[in-house]
């Protein structure tokens, strides 16, 4: 069980608040984040690297709720953003522009403009065409864009293929063999000030070896570039540190920090990091309610009111999330093997297959753990389900930090063009429901 979520008298609490009480107040499903856990995790990471005096730019993609960003920003975090939307979120949360780094392979012209207008710390450039476009955008504004070249070191991160980014065949960064040339070009282009290099080889790394290989290659490149007379002040080492979802043994922040010190300690660089998952993953649960328990001929299905649209990681990456009861069963309760599924009309809408779980009955509450990263941010309204709400709990109190929208609000996002008519002429239309017109008029049509 992650920290800050604990059982008391058989009841799951989050920072002193019964999870069942929150469920009663806001309904299910919902995400529940612990402010204490976020704080402790940020501090542990920052403390491990304190000697390096780094800038820790939280990867906003992992959890972009404004309350979470405000909290981390208040602890000193900057932000790693990958879109104008994330940039706006970081700024709206109060994170100062000089602590914001913009990464991503496909930044559009308007997005580059927004970054220049905000005066952020650094743009991590991932291709020569991007470098040229940024040069034009910066020159047009009479600005100088501080950039880092994101290097693709051609290292296998030994993680899930869909979240591996550091191999040559991945779309990310500039091949390490070409990065020197790109750096040189950056120095020649108007409006561009190359300040350093950036690196990110993948996510959910549970082994330090790929980090070491990538770090060593980049350290060589720093030395080579300096040897050729370039200034390389900054190095952004990305994120990627894994967490324990099931049986993994991810590196401790202190071991990661020791590796950083070993490889870069003598290079006198301003270091930045872009951790996401390690800061917020274990700090969040997704809470759901059992709708039915269905005894199939070969399986027992526990059907939740949460689905793949709320938490897509199991469907997308076959990822594991522990599923725990919000009220512990009586001692001696026998575990049963079940499939835990959602109501969406896809077989992939499965949170767990043949999982040993305590007895589950209709209306029971369950929590899926380690859901604070890449959970709510990846949610959708698929099957026209309402976007899942988010709750932040802190020392005995909780706040809804993103409410569940109403069905009216969801429907109001669509617009039907006039030329499709008002619905009253649809065959068999119930005018009352679709148009609000009195039935009498429909009869006349």
The rounded distance, in Å, linking the Cα atoms of 266 and 345 is: 56
Is 59 a binding residue for ligand LLP by CB under 6 A? The answer is yes
Which residue from 275, 282, 325, 372 is in contact with ligand LLP, where contact means CB under 6 A?
A: 275
The phi and psi torsions of 164 (rounded to 5 degrees) equal -100, 130
Question: Does residue 83 bind ligand LLP (CB under 6 A)?
Answer: no
Instruction: Provide the minimum distance between the beta carbon of 25 and ligand LLP in the complex, in angstroms, as a whole number.
Output: 28
Here the tokens at position 190 are 């108007």
Nearest by Cα to 314 from 229, 245, 220: 245
Q: Which of 62, 90, 192, 290 binds ligand LLP (CB under 6 A)?
A: 62
Which residues, numbered 363-392, are part of the site for ligand LLP (CB under 6 A)? 373-374
Binding to ligand LLP (CB under 6 A) within 97-116 occurs at: 103
Taking CB under 6 A as the binding criterion, the range among 114-122, 196-204, 250-258, 286-294 that sits at the site for ligand LLP is 196-204
Which residue, 82 or 303, has its beta carbon nearer to ligand LLP? 82
* Touching ligand LLP, residues 212-251 (CB under 6 A): 238-241
Catalytic choice (57, 280, 338, 345):
345
Among 234, 277, 321, 385, binds ligand LLP (CB under 6 A): 277
In terms of CB distance, is 17 or 55 closer to ligand LLP?
55
Least Å distance, CB 280 to ligand LLP, is: 8
Check: CB of residue 271 under 8 Å from CB of residue 55: yes
Residue 371 to residue 306: CA distance in whole angstroms: 13
**Least separation, in Å, of the C-beta of 360 and ligand LLP?**
25
Question: Rounded to 5 degrees, what angle do the CA atoms 18, 20, 24 make?
Answer: 125
The reply on whether position 313 binds ligand LLP by CB under 6 A is: yes
**Residue 208 in the binding site for ligand LLP (CB under 6 A):** no
Report how far residue 391's alpha carbon sits from residue 65's, in angstroms, rounded to the nearest whole number: 10
Quickly tell me which residue has 């293929």 as its tokens. 161
Of the candidate spans 27-35, 41-49, 197-205, 209-217, the one that interacts with ligand LLP by CB under 6 A turns out to be 197-205
Number of residues that bind ligand LLP (CB under 6 A): 22
**Residue 266 φ then ψ, to 5°:** -95, 5
Percent helix, strand and coil across the chain, each to the nearest 5 = 35, 25, 40
Does the bond joining 29 to the residue before it have cis omega, within 30 degrees of 0? yes
Distances (CA, A) of 420 to 186, 436, 443, 445: 52, 17, 20, 16
**Dist. CA 304–CA 29, nearest whole Å:** 9
The residue among 2 and 240 lying less far from ligand LLP, judged by its C-beta, is 240
Q: How far is the CB of 375 from ligand LLP (least distance, A)?
A: 8
> 280 an active-site residue?
no
Tokens linked to 75: 């602890």
- Residues contacting 414, CB < 8 A, separation 6+: none
Closest C-alpha among 162, 202, 207 to residue 315: 162
Of the pair 274, 310, the CB lying nearest ligand LLP is at 274
Contact positions toward ligand LLP, by CB under 6 A? Answer: 59, 61-62, 80, 103, 163, 200, 203-204, 238-241, 274-278, 313, 317, 373-374
List, by residue number, the catalytic residues: 345
């Amino acid at each position: 069980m992650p920290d800050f979520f604990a059982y008391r008298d058989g009841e799951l609490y989050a920072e002193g608040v019964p999870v069942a009480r929150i469920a009663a107040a806001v309904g299910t499903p919902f995400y529940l984040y612990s402010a204490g856990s976020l704080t402790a995790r940020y501090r542990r990471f920052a403390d491990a690297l304190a000697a390096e005096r780094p800038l820790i730019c939280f990867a906003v993609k992992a959890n972009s709720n404004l309350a979470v960003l405000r909290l981390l920003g208040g602890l000193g975090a900057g932000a790693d953003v990958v879109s104008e939307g994330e940039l706006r979120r970081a700024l709206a949360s109060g994170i100062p522009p000089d602590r914001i780094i913009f990464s991503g392979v496909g930044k559009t012209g308007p997005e580059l403009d927004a970054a220049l207008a905000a005066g952020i710390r650094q743009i991590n450039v991932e291709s020569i065409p991007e470098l040229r476009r940024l040069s034009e955008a910066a020159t047009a504004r009479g600005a100088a864009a501080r950039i880092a070249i994101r290097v693709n070191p051609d290292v296998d991160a030994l993680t899930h293929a869909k979240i591996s980014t550091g191999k040559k065949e991945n779309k990310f960064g500039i091949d390490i063999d070409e990065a020197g040339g790109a750096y040189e070009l950056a120095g020649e282009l108007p409006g561009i000030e190359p300040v350093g290099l950036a690196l990110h080889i993948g996510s959910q790394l549970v082994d330090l070896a790929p980090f070491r290989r990538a770090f060593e290659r980049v350290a060589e490149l720093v030395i080579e570039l300096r040897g050729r007379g370039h200034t390389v002040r900054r190095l952004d080492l990305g994120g990627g540190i894994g967490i324990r979802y099931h049986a993994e043994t991810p590196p401790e922040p202190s071991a990661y920090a020791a590796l950083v010190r070993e490889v870069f300690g003598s290079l006198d660089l301003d270091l930045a990091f872009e951790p996401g998952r390690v800061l917020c993953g274990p700090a969040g649960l997704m809470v759901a309610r059992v709708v039915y328990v269905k005894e199939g001929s070969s399986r027992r299905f526990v059907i939740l009111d949460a689905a793949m649209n709320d938490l897509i990681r199991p469907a997308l990456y076959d990822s594991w999330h522990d599923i725990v009861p919000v009220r512990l069963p009586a001692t001696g309760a026998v575990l049963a093997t079940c499939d835990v599924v959602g109501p969406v009309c896809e077989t992939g809408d499965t949170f767990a297959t043949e999982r040993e779980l305590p007895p589950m009955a209709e209306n029971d509450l369950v929590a899926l753990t380690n859901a604070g990263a890449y959970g709510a941010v990846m949610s959708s309204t698929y099957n026209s389900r309402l976007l899942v709400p988010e709750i932040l709990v802190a020392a005995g109190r909780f706040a809804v930090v993103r409410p569940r929208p109403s069905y009216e609000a969801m429907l109001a996002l669509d617009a039907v063009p006039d030329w499709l008519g008002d619905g009253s002429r649809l065959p068999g239309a119930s005018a009352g429901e679709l148009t609000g017109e009195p039935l009498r008029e429909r009869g006349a049509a």
